[in-house]
Each structure stands twice: as structure tokens, then as C-alpha cells.
Amino acid sequence: MGDRGNSGAGMAGNEREQRRNLPPLRLHVPEPRFRPGDVADFSDLEIPAAGMMPRPDEGADAATMRDLAYGLVRVLDEDGQAVGAWDPKLPPETLLRMLRAMALTRAFDQRMFRAQRQGKTSFYMKSTGEEAVSVAAAAALASDDMCFPSYRQQGVLIARGWPIIDMMNQIYSNKGDRLKGRQLPIMYSAREASFFSISGNLATQYPQAVGWAMASAARGDTRIAATWCGEGSTAEGDFHSACIFASVYRAPVILNVVNNQWAISSFSGFAGAEATTFAARAIGYGIAGLRIDGNDALAVHAATRWAADRARANHGPTLIEHFTYRAEGHSTSDDPSAYRSADEGSQWPLGDPIARLKQHCIALGIWDEDRHAAMDKELAEEVRDAAREAEKNGILGHGLHHPMETMFEDVFEEMPWHLKEQQQAMLDEWKAAGL
Amino acid sequence: MSMIQAINSALDVMMERDPDVVVMGEDVGYFGGVFRATAGLQAKYGKNRVFDTPITEIGIIGVAIGMGAYGLRPVPEIQFADYIYPALDQLVSEAARLRYRSAGEFIAPMTVRSPFGGGIFGGQTHSQSPEGIFTHVSGIKTVIPSTPYDAKGLLIAAIQDNDPVIFFEPKRIYNGPFDGHYDRPAKSWAGHPGAMVPAGYYRVPLGQARTVREGEALTILCYGAMEHVVESTVSEMGVDAEIIDLRTLVPLDIEAVERSVKKTGRCLIVHEATRTSGFGAELSALVQERCFYHLEAPVERVTGFDTPYPHSLEWAYFPGPVRIGEAINKIMRD
Ligand SMILES: Cc1ncc(C[n+]2csc(CCOP(=O)(O)OP(=O)(O)O)c2C)c(N)n1
């Protein structure tokens, strides 16, 4: 350690002598259970049976709900039956609408992932395995409740019926892109859909959602806010700032944590999962916390509706941990086989959210395999046709983008002299170069 | 050796030599970093010395200060320079001032590595060049290599330095020198003189610029990925420019700048960062303060525009051969 060490500063000689006999301190660095080559086995994971968790009144004092932050709210059982107090008892139309939006989200992801691989855009992120988290939540919210999503909630836009061509135009950064080609693909913004502009900086949307909810409350509005981040992102200071504001002002906001087990190559242990649950973060702030099966669309819907009702009745915020699994890579730039066991996804004990909702609908007698197969085919075609349409507006790097000078617009409401000068200089330079 | 391999090698050499050196950051452990800069280090040096961190940049830097206060030499990675902003308070208010406010009692001997710069279609939050923010702060050193050789030598010098160092890695040239022609195939480092990297220990001292090319017609001051764009533009134009790669912005090799500008009488400054209050403004002021009577033309700057980094128009934004060529012509006309 040399002379720079400050560790012994101020310590008397005999005190140091006494410590010689103490065991050396150890640093604990978490390690995920399975690495490439390991056989994944989740049999010891505690998964309570569906229907076990109590459903408190929406106005319940957060302090009485401690157990819900450590349990796992599940509605769909192994046979696809909806059981227990959290069963939202949704009408068939709602169930089938959710199923369709989830399947469309998956088809969209598949197509856009392929488009990236074909060089039509720079980047893509799938939400495979997490479709229930976004779609069922959107179905439980009012269409004008304001969403502050992270980058893996494309399902919210899709569930709200936002045109997928518009989303594709954004992904291709083409001349049809309402964001004028300025944002990384999938960083949507859709004010009309009450969908806040996505940032690449993790967790920044969290306090913003709380601020929006506080404003809505201060104005006596009836709209609430919802926000999402990954479990990895809960480590950011912004997450904690959001919780304290939400708690202090009883903001009408739903704070969703999508615990998909992985943050790029870092497993949830690096966000603190070895010590506690993410829903339990709520307890220290006096916020209601629910830990739910994120692959169970009915649980997601029920918890979101519960939290929304709670917020609308001025009982304040809810933090919902969606326990789920990131079935694919982090993004098109990622290769998960380099850091996690290859069969983890298939061994994941909570199954696939689409398969589970489909099974439920079939068990109810409102759906069957043939209709499902037909729907998948139809959605694949819908997505393919939309992609072809969107490609007519251009794909990334093939010239069909917004004109270069638009780069300088929207920095400020009015363009100051220095930007005007830079804009002109750029045009002159390209012209002089014959381009 | 590519730049990424050179950086990996520098970390390896320093971890081998000095048990106080620890590497930390998002995804740097088992996986070896999203750009593979720390690949293999955890397997070799163990989890006590190479570990993943929670995703909190301000936490990473604050913890690194504490480790430094204990006596370690942390080398934290911020995954993209764009994510250094959440760490700003710990860097600016704490790390940069610790020595000063404690009159030398405590120091923050850390080297914050971070990939920076554009040209990879990274959009607004994977493309920025925030060096000007740090050169504006007293107490932090700012280092930016442009070749694998320099990356290794400078990183070793930075890790050995007792002050906090921001070490920005131009990610556009991690795997090959980039000449600014985005429509040409990428080159590899193989065969580039700057890619001849010794296996073991060596230093490139902080505060010394490198003359990339000697010339008489004008001086071009640049650093990072821009060095290669400038070099190829100059050779394509056949202009007799002197190219100075600054290598460290703070401390700056002012003598190298002064000597060259006084010799050529003309000065062009090139950087990717936005223009207003960028490091080019400081350079320009220094040149006019110290070389005014030698100047035959106004100092020119080619920089990023004062807009956020646009995704689809990346190539119009990135200061490339077109803009640099125009600026050279303008300076030579005057
Ligand atoms: C402030 C900030 N730091 C780092 C990153 C780089 N980064 C992008 S995604 C990611 C992992 C996030 O994981 P998690 O929050 O669990 O969400 P998931 O991707 O699993 O949905 C990281 C580290 C970033 N985008 N922003």
C-alpha cells in the first residue's frame, strides 16, 4: 500500500497490535448462479403458487403491506386458470386485445431486429419475454395517463394503438420520422399517446414522472403518471430521488421496476437483489410496494389497476416490481451467450407471458390454437407490410432523411445567430465540395 | 495491437505491477466491458480487484474517491462518456478539489476511463465529447490518446499519476484509424506505426504533445479520432501542414503549440465537441495571446455544431474531410 495509505492514520500502536488477531475483512462481490456452460436450475427459486397473496384495499396504509413487497402476486396458475383475490376478472375482449398487442409487440420486435441485422438501421432492442409488463399495464391505465417509459416498453405504444409505421419511421430515422432522425432507434416520443420522449440515460425519467404526477395533483387533474426502469437502473440516484419526492408529496404515480434479471452482463445481484427485493425499496420510503409475476398479464393488469385506483383516490404512489426474464440479448450490440447460461431462458420458471395468456384464453373457451396461429400469421404480415411502407420513406444511411439543415432546428425555440451561422456554413461547405 | 488491446494491455501491466490498482465499472468484470477493454482481467486478478458495479455513475466515482483515500488506485470505467454527467458532482466538487481543500492530506488518485466521441451511429447519448467540461474544472487532468501506442503509454502514466485523470478513449478508432470518409471501408490498425505497441511497461508522459507531421504552411491542433481525419485530409490535399496531436488537454503542452504556430503563422483547431466554450476556444485564445504577432491569418476552428448529436445526420455533424478541407483553404487564402 506504501505511504499513500491513510488506513492507519491516527491509530495508536497498541491498538493496531490488538487488531492483529482479528480475522481479515472480506469484500463480497456478487456472482450470478449460472455462467456459460452451466446448466441452469431454478428449482430452488421461491415461486409462491398463484392466488396466494392477499389483496389489500386500494387505500391501505403502506405500512400494513410489507409482505406484498417480498411475495409474488400471481393470478394465472399452471393450468391457465385465473385464481385468487387479484384476479382482475377481465372481459374476453380485454383479454384478447392484450393477447393481440403482446403478440404484435413480439412480431414487431422480430421484424425490427432483423431489419437491424440487414443494415437498415443502427440499433434495436427487443422486449421478448417482457410483453406483459408493458401491454397489460397500458391496458390497465387510462389512455391519457402519462407514461414515462424506458427503452423496453414499446408494448405501451403498441397497446395504445399507436401506428407501427410511425415507430418504424423512427427506427429507420427516415423522412417520415417525426423526431427528424435525431434520436437513436426505439427512443420514441409520442405526446399524443401520452408517451414521454425516451432518454438513453438510465432512470432520468423516474423523477420526471413524479414531477408530472405532482403537477397533475397540484392542478386537481385526474390523470396519473406511470414510469418504468430496469432493476439495474434502480441503482441510479434518480430512482431514489423519485421515490423520496413521490413519498413526500404522495404523488399519483406508479413506479414500475422491470426486474428481468440482467442489466447487460450484470445480474440483478449488482443492483442489490441478493439482499432484498426491488419492491421492498418502497418500504423505506413509506410507499406501497408490490412484487408481482411479470410474465402473468393478469397479475400485471391487476396490480397496475390497483395502483392506479390508489393514486386516483389520493392514496399516493405504488412501486411495482415485475419479476420477469430478459429472454433475448440486451440489444443488437449484445451477445448474452458470453455471460449467461444458454438454457437459462428456457428454464425460467415463470414461462412465457404470451403462451400463458393464450393458455388462459383457451381454457376460458374464448380462443384456440388455430385462431392463435392465424393471428400470428396475420400479425407477421401486418408488420412486414408496415415495414415495407416505412422503408419507402427511407432506411438509415440511404439519403432519405430530413434535410441536413434541419439539424439546427429545435435546439431552441428560436434559432440564435451562432446556430444560423453554423447552419449556413455547413450548407456552403457541402456545396463548395460539390455534395 | 488495436487501441482496445493496448488499453487492455496497459491495465494488465499496471495491475501486475501494482497491487493497489483496481478496475471497476458497469459490466467490466466477468464480461470484460461492453467494448472488451477489461477482458480477461477478472480471471487473472480476481474479483477483489476487477469487479462489476451497480449502475450508478455518481456512486462509482464517489466510491473510487473513498478507495483512493484508503490508498488504492482505482481505475473506474464509465461505460460511455455521455453517462459521466450523472457522476459530475463527485468528479467536479469532490475528486477535483480533494487535494486542494485538504492541503494535500487526501488525494483522489483515480483514472476515469470512458469511451467518447461520435461516428458510430450512437445517437445523442452515445456520441458526446464532454472534454471541455473537465478542462474547465480545476484539479482534473484530461487525457485523450489517438493511437494504440499512446493509449497504452498515457494510460499507464495516468494510473501512476496522483491526481484524478479523465481518460477519454475515442471509440471510433478503437479498432482502426478512421480517416473521416464514412463511405469507405473501415481500416484496421495493422501496419499503422502507432499500432506498434511494446508488450510490457512504458510511459508516455502526461503534458507532452506529439508532432504527427512536420510542415511549414499551417499548424493544425487536434486530438483523438480527429488526428486521423486531419492527417488524411492533409495528405489528400497535399498541403504542407504541421499536425500537433495534443494528447493531454490539461496539462497542455503549450510550448509545442507556441513553437509550431510561431513557425507556420497559421493555426487551425479541430475537435468533435460542440463549438461554443469548447476546448478549441481556449486553444484559440492561448494562440492569439502568445503568437499574435506571428499570425498571418485568423485562427480557425472546425468543431461539432452547437446542437445535440443527431442520429441520421451523423455524417453532416462529424467534422470530416469536407469541413476540414474548407477551413484549410480559407486559412491559406488569407
Ligand atoms: C446513466 C447510464 N449509465 C449507463 C448506461 C448504459 N446502459 C444502457 S442499458 C444498461 C443496463 C440497464 O439494465 P436494466 O436497468 O436492468 O434494464 P434492462 O436493459 O435489463 O431492461 C446500461 C448499463 C446508460 N444508458 N445510462
pLDDT for res A1: 38
Contacts A422 to B, Cβ<8 Å: 275, 305-306
A199 touches chain B (CB under 8 A): yes
pLDDT for res A48: 95
B290, pLDDT greater than 70:
yes
pLDDT for res A432: 84
Q: Give the mutation target among A109, A233, A332 for probing the ligand 1 site: most ligand atoms within 8 A of CB.
A: A233
B229, pLDDT greater than 70:
yes
**For residue B96, what is the DSSP state?**
G
pLDDT for res B130: 98
Cα–ligand 1 centroid distance for B127 (angstroms): 16
Helix (H, G, I), strand (E, B) or coil at B270: strand
**Residue A19 confidence class, pLDDT cut points 50, 70, 90:** confident
Q: Which residue has the cell 438509415?
A: A396
Q: Whose CA is nearest to atom 11 of ligand 1?
A: A263
Average pLDDT over residues B100-122: 96
B35, pLDDT greater than 50:
yes
Burial class (CB in 10 A: 0-12, 13-18, 19+), B213: middle
pLDDT for res A3: 45
Partner-chain contact B52 A266, CB within 8 Å:
yes
Which among B113, B329, B127 is positioned nearest to B225, based on CA atoms? B127
Average pLDDT over residues B53-60: 98
Helix (H, G, I), strand (E, B) or coil at B274: strand
Is any atom of ligand 1 closer than 6 Å to the C-beta of A230? Answer: yes
pLDDT for res A13: 65
pLDDT for res B307: 97
A189: left (phi over 0), alpha (psi -120 to 50) or beta: beta
Tell me the pLDDT tens digit for each residue of A108-153: 999 999 999 999 999 999 999 999 999 999 999 999 999 999 999 9
Q: Does the interface predicted TM-score (ipTM) exceed 0.85?
A: yes
Tell me the pLDDT tens digit for each residue of A25-73: 999 999 999 999 999 999 999 999 999 999 999 999 999 999 999 999 9
The x, y and z cell numbers of residue A84, run together, are 385468487
**Residue A430 confidence class, pLDDT cut points 50, 70, 90:** confident
Helix (H, G, I), strand (E, B) or coil at A259: strand
Tell me the pLDDT tens digit for each residue of A190-244: 999 999 999 999 999 999 999 999 999 999 999 999 999 999 999 999 999 999 9
Three-state SS letters, A63-121:
HHHHHHHHCCECCECCCCCECCCCCCCCCHHHHHHHHHHHHHHHHHHHHHHHHHHCCCC
| Type of residue at A319 | L
Percent of chain A, pLDDT > 90?
93
Average pLDDT over residues B49-71: 98
Q: Whose CA is nearest to atom 17 of ligand 1?
A: A230
Is any atom of ligand 1 closer than 6 Å to the C-beta of A187? Answer: no
Tell me the pLDDT tens digit for each residue of B193-221: 999 999 999 999 999 999 999 999 999 99
**Residue A2 confidence class, pLDDT cut points 50, 70, 90:** very low
Average pLDDT over residues A284-301: 98
Would residue B126 show up in a list of annotated catalytic residues for this protein? yes
pLDDT for res A11: 59
**For residue B93, what is the DSSP state?**
I
**Residue A313 confidence class, pLDDT cut points 50, 70, 90:** very high
pLDDT for res A21: 85
Omega before residue B251 within 30° of 0, cis: yes
pLDDT for res A5: 47
A185, pLDDT greater than 90:
yes
pTM for the predicted model, two decimal places: 0.96
With b meaning 16 or more CB within 10 Å and e meaning fewer, what string describes A357-395?
Answer: bbbbbeeeeebeeeebeebeeebbeebeebbeebbebbb
B180: left (phi over 0), alpha (psi -120 to 50) or beta: left
Q: Which residues pair with A266 in a beta bridge?
A: A263
Partner-chain contact B322 A6, CB within 8 Å:
no
Partner-chain contact A418 B53, CB within 8 Å:
no
**Which of A184, A236, A422 comes nearest B123 by C-beta?**
A184
Tell me the pLDDT tens digit for each residue of A70-86: 999 999 999 999 999 99
Helix (H, G, I), strand (E, B) or coil at B252: coil
Chain centre distance of CA A145? 17
**φ, ψ dihedrals at B93, nearest 5°:** -85, -20
**Residue B330 confidence class, pLDDT cut points 50, 70, 90:** very high
Helix (H, G, I), strand (E, B) or coil at B136: coil
- Residue A34: in which H helix or E strand, if any? none
Question: Can you tell me the distance from the alpha carbon of A424 to that of A419, in angstroms, rounded to the nearest whole number?
Answer: 8
Nearest CA in chain B to A407: B310
Tell me the pLDDT tens digit for each residue of B151-202: 999 999 999 999 999 999 999 999 999 999 988 999 999 999 999 999 999 9
Cα–ligand 1 centroid distance for A268 (angstroms): 12
Q: Chain A 56-95, CB below 8 Å of chain B: which residues?
A: none
